Amino acid sequence: MNTRLNRFKWSLFFEYALATAVLVGALRLAVLTWVNGYFPQPFFFDTDDTWRDWFSTAIWAHEDGAYDSWLSIYPPLSFAFLKFVGLPSCYEYAPMATVRDCDWVGVVVMHAIYAINILLTALTFMKIDRATALARSLTLSICMPMLFGLERGNLILLCFTFVVLGFGPLLASARLRWLCVALAVNLKVYLIACVASQLLRRRWLWVEGVIIAIIGVWLVSFVIYGAGTPLDVYRNISNWAGGSTPSSILDIWYPNTYLPLRFVLGESNAPVNVILGSRVVNFALVFMPLTTHLAQVSIVFAAAITWLRPEVVPPYRLAFFGAALAMVTSETSTYTQPIVFFFVLMEPWRGWERIAALVATYILCIPGDIMISGPTRVQSFSFIGNRFVLAEYAVSLGMILRPFLFMLPAYFLSFLTIKDVWLDIRRQGWATRPRFFSDFPLLPGVAKPSRISTSQSSEPRKS
């Protein structure tokens, strides 16, 4: 008993030490921003571009052409929402800089959503495990990707709100959860992977309800905004993917995947090639696609084997598989990572696979970066500092290591899932495997499996 208690205390100490590192990084970031007058690397390099994602989208919410001229790849919900949370008078023939200074309502709403997310995150982790709730909610609220999303003013903030409500334990009503998941998918289309992954647990009714809600939200937002058919979105996504936009050189600044770095290293005259050397570059061009494909294969295999024993894999891990696969495969920008972090932090601190995934997540959450080259200083105007500043830019360690760290939870949780399923099969044999159409609500007369697995290795720890 004493050994168990000591192990529990040491695990709490280690987790809170990691959370403290995140807090120290956030405080250091605040001091640097206050002193220097701009957000340091790895925040977006244009010091005058703060909140650009919010207000550039809001401009198109108040005029036509989002899908024809701007070539938006998102459903109309984003524009329908921003149409009602700003001052319309600010968007009459006004440039970006004027809109940002004029529309104070949009600024207040943006930060109100961030504050609500902090509250919802804290309540969620309190329901999952009170002992680690403070460490995990604090970490997720001030992690580097979340702060980056706030600095950009990206609607990932609102999307995260609905992810927490739709996949977390706060809402008792299944229909309200369906609606929240549908709203999240209508803000970020790739989250449909989180919905599809629930089919592996035979949650047929849940998936049907979410799909109906997705269609309903799309129709309502289409009527409000007046544009954005599924064909428009599909066409723009196809054009965006075909134009190599995900691997543009700007994405290397704060990458989510190795796609930007592979693009840059493929250019022989890129400055980073001179800094790293040809031997390192050649190794990286082999290592980066290999690790990415291994992560994709491990996620797909773990998800597929879940079908054999869905009861030993919790729903939040399947949602993690869906989101991680989408974000490992394409460059969705780093501010999308808190969605994956949310699912990882729902795992208990138990077993080396979960612990390794949690440690990698905590490291990714630490605000800041480590420079590995001499800085280049550029004078530019800073919106947040409201003055001209001398900004420093350099090649950083995060450009190289961050995508690999982001793939580590996928490796470890995939291995854990495969192990749990295999142990359950060894324990109970193949005779109890569920049938393909078991639990399907639209097929009357199909018996539901009565077996309940004795394996509890994947369930979250409750207080």
> Domain span at residue 211?
2-428
User: Is residue 181 in some structural domain?
Assistant: yes
* Residue 249 pLDDT: 55
Kindly indicate the confidence band of residue 406, based on its pLDDT and cuts at 50, 70 and 90: very high
Q: Is residue 172 part of a domain?
A: yes
pLDDT of residue 351: 92
Going from the C-alpha of 124 to that of each of 10, 343, 359, 380, 433, the distances in angstroms are 24, 11, 20, 41, 33
Q: What is the mean pLDDT of residues 24-38?
A: 95
pLDDT of residue 281: 76
Percentage above 90 pLDDT, the chain = 61
Assigned domain for 438 exists: no
Is 441 strand, coil or helix?
Answer: coil
220 in any annotated domain: yes
Residue 274: pLDDT band with limits 50, 70, 90: low
Residue 169 to residues 164, 172, 357: CA-CA distances in angstroms? 8, 7, 22
Which is higher by pLDDT, 442 or 332? 332
- Of 173-182, 206-215, 384-393, 453-462, the one with minimum mean pLDDT is 453-462
Q: For 408-443, write each residue's pLDDT tens digit.
A: 999 999 999 999 999 999 888 775 555 444 444 443
Which pLDDT band holds residue 234 (cuts at 50, 70, 90)?
A: confident
pLDDT for position 157: 96
Is the pLDDT confidence value at 5 over 60? yes
Q: Is the pLDDT of residue 326 over 70?
A: yes
pLDDT of 453 higher than 80: no
Residue 445, pLDDT score: 38
Least confident range of 66-80, 246-260, 369-383, 387-401: 246-260
The per-residue pLDDT for 448 is 45
Percent of the chain with pLDDT over 70: 85
How many domains in the chain? 1
Asked whether residue 238 is assigned to any structural domain, the reply reads: yes
Return mean pLDDT, the chain.
86
378's tokens: 């550029």
Asked whether residue 445 is domain-assigned, the answer is no
Question: Is 208 among the domain residues?
Answer: yes
The arithmetic mean of pLDDT across residues 302-308, rounded, is 93
CA 154 – CA 54 distance, rounded (Å): 5
What pLDDT does 389 receive?
A: 93
Question: What is the pTM (predicted TM-score) of this model?
Answer: 0.89
The predicted structure's pLDDT at residue 462: 45
Q: Which residues pair with residue 387 across a beta bridge?
A: 382
Residue 246 lies in a domain: yes
